[in-house]
Amino acid sequence: MDIDVRGPRFGAAVTTVVLAAVLVTGSAWLLAWQTLAFLLGAAGGMTRSPYGLLFRKAVRPRLGPPTGFEAPEPPRFAQAVGLVFAGLGLVGYTLGPGWLGLAATGAALAAAFLNAVFGYCLGCEMYLLVRRMTVGLK
């Protein structure tokens, strides 16, 4: 079942704010929250992520009908990519080296920002590239 394209973009906007706050404060706890949000999004899809639930319950009812739909697999893959970067950032913030925390969090922030502001999902594009490569191998 396809999902409303505004949902992942809303999630990316919230993620952008959270990750920016992590970089400003250096809070490993806040990054742990974002890592959990990515985990839930990767495991259950955008509709089961905390930001997806917030979008569905509080934001979408206040908007008009969906302007477009997309397959759930690319955003779910993007959540998994975000999980990897947030996990690396969490390791950097808690165990060191500190530059790893900053770099991984910054990379995740850049990807979330691109999706939130420009609607360009790097993880989704990676998904499509991987699909093209694996289909060609069969």
- List the chain domain ranges: 3-137
| Mean pLDDT of the chain, nearest integer | 94
Average pLDDT over residues 120-138: 87
Give me Rg for the CA atoms of the chain: 15
Any bridge partners for residue 69, and if so which?
A: 4
Q: For residue 24, name the pLDDT band (cuts at 50, 70, 90).
A: very high
User: Hey, how many other C-beta atoms are within 10 angstroms of the C-beta on 58?
Assistant: 10
Average pLDDT over residues 15-30: 98
Enter the DSSP assignment of 5. Answer: T
Q: What is the pLDDT of residues 56-69, one digit of tens each?
A: 999 999 999 998 99
User: Between these two residues, 133 and 19, which has the higher pLDDT value?
Assistant: 19
Q: CB of 102 within 8 A of CB of 54? A: no
Tokens of 91: 């390791």
pTM: 0.92
Q: What is the pLDDT of residues 28-47, one digit of tens each?
A: 999 999 999 999 999 999 88
